[in-house]
Structure 1
Amino acid sequence: MADTILSLNNASLTLAGNAGPVNILNGITLDVRAGETLGLVGPSGSGKSSLLMLMGGLERATTGSVTALGHDLTTMDENALARFRRQHMGVVFQSFHLIPTMTAQENVATPLELAGHRDAFDRAAEELRAVGLAHRMGHYPAQMSGGEQQRVALARAAAPRPRLLLADEPTGNLDGANGAAIMDLLFGLRERYGSTLILVTHAPELAARCDRVVRLCDGRISPDRKAAE
C-alpha cells in the first residue's frame, strides 16, 4: 500500500510471567494509512495498549515485524528507537508522565531540546497556548489539575510536529467534561499537523470519531471496520 505509514506483519508479543511465558499478542497483521485516525478497542486485557506499545517501539515484537515510516522497529536498538520516536512520534499516556520538577513549559521544551531545536522554549510556549495553557507555563505539575496536566502532555507530544501520534486511553483519568475537551484538542492537533492518530479507548463515542476502528480480543485482531458501522 503506497500510503502506508505503519505496518505490522504477523507480529506477536510474549512476556515472561510467574507461571511461564504469557502470550499477549498473536499474529497481528495491520496496515495504517498516512493521515488516518485509527481507534483500537476491545475489552480490558485484550492487548490494545500492548499493540500501541509495539507500534511505538516501546515493546519489541517477539516474532514478526513492525515497520514505521519505512524503518523496521524490530531491528533497532534502544538508542535508535529513542531517536526515531523523538523525530517522528508523539505519545500520550493515561497517566501524563510529566517531570514533576519541571514547569509546564520546561516539560514541553525538553524533547525539543533533545532533538536539537534552538527555539525549543518558543515552540513550547506556542503549543501550550494552543491547548489553552498560556497562563500555566511557569507552573509545576503538582500545581495543576489532571485535565491541565493532560493538556501539557498533549502539547509535549505535538510540539515536535510528529508524523505519528499515539494515545493510550488519554481520557482515562479524567472526568467527562475534561475528557471531552482533551479529545477535541487531540483531534485538533492531529488536524493541525496532519499527523496519523492511533488511539486506544474504551469509549464508543471516541472510537466513532475515528476513520477506522480495529477490535482486539484475546490478543488477536478482528477484521477492520468503519467507526460508523
Structure 2
Amino acid sequence: MPDAMMPSSPHRDALIEARGLRFRVGGSAGEVNILKGLDLSVQPGEAIGIVGPSGSGKTSLLMLLAGLERATAGTLEVAGQDLSALDEDSLARLRRDRIGIVFQAFHLVPTMTARENVAVPLEFAGRRDAFERAEEALAQVGLGHRLDHYPGQLSGGEQQRVALARAFVAGPALMLADEPTGNLDRKTGDAVMDLLFGLRERFGTTLILITHDPALAARCERQVRIEDGLIVSDTRESALDAVPA
C-alpha cells in the first residue's frame, strides 16, 4: 500500500531538483499562473507517474524539465545543470545527450523512414554508427522489419514504437513521457507501455510519466498528483503493489 505523503526534499545526487518552481503565460485575458511554487526532487532510476486534472500544470512541468519552456521563477536543475543558466544551444545539447521525450502525437518526421527518424539524435551527436544503432533500437521495439517504412505507412502503435526507439537510442538518463498512449486504443496502448517500462528497466532510465490514467501511473513506484499548479500528494508503492493485475 502507498506510504503516507512524502514531501520532496533537496538531495545533492538528485537527477531533478525543482524548488519554488513557477510558470506563467500571457494571454488575451491577462497572465495565467500555471505552476505556483512547485517543489520536486527525483533520484536517478526512479519511475514517477504524474497525475492530475486537465489544466493542473502536468504538461507545463514536463516542458520545463525538457528545457522547452523556461520557468518564470524558482530554481530547476536537471542532470546537474541549472537550466536557467543554459542558452538554447546548450539546452538542445542537454536534450540530445541526457533526455528522451515521447509525446502523445508521436512527432515523427513524415518525410523520413523509421530508421532515419530514430537516427536523427545520433546524427546530431556526430555518431558514425547512427543508422546501425537505429536499426538495433527498432529491433528492440519489434520493428526490425519496418526500417524503410515512412510514418504514413505505419499504424499509430507502430509510430509510437518508432518514437520510443528514437527516445531511448542515445541511452538517456531521463525519459519524459507525456500521455504516450493518448492516441492509441487500450490494447495497443498497453503494448506500448509494456515496451516503455521494459526499456526503462533495461537501461536504468529515470522515468517521468504524465498520464490521466491512475492505473497507468500505478505502474510507477511513485505517484505525484498535481492540482492547481502545486503537488498535493506524493506517495510510493512497493514493487509488488505496482505490478498490474
Q: TM-score higher than 0.5 here?
A: yes
- Does residue 117 (structure 1) correspond to residue 98 (structure 2)? The answer is no
Deviations 1:117-171 (A, max 9, x none): 1110010000100000011110000000000000000000000000000000000
> Which residue is equivalent to 2:153?
143
CA contact (8 A) 2:24 2:32 kept: yes
Match of 1:197, SS state, is strand
Match of 1:134, SS state, is coil
Match of 2:17, SS state, is strand
Runs of 5+ unmatched residues, structure 1: none
> Which residue is equivalent to 1:174?
184
Deviations 1:179-206 (A, max 9, x none): 0001000011111111100000111211
> Which residue is equivalent to 1:43?
53
- Does residue 105 (structure 1) correspond to residue 115 (structure 2)? The answer is yes
CA contact (8 A) 2:226 2:233 kept: no
> Which residue is equivalent to 1:197?
207
- Does residue 57 (structure 1) correspond to residue 80 (structure 2)? The answer is no
Instruction: Give the superposition deviation at 1:78.
Output: 1.0
Match of 1:4, SS state, is coil
Match of 1:5 among 9, 12, 15: 15
Aligned length: 229
Instruction: Give the superposition deviation at 1:90.
Output: 0.3
Identity of aligned residues (%): 61
Match of 1:87 among 73, 80, 97: 97
Q: TM-score, normalised by structure 2?
A: 0.91
CA contact (8 A) 2:176 2:209 kept: yes
Match of 1:215 among 204, 225, 243: 225
> Which residue is equivalent to 2:6?
none
After superposition, the CA RMSD in angstroms is: 1.1
Paired amino acid for 1:47: G
Instruction: Give the superposition deviation at 1:226.
Output: 1.8
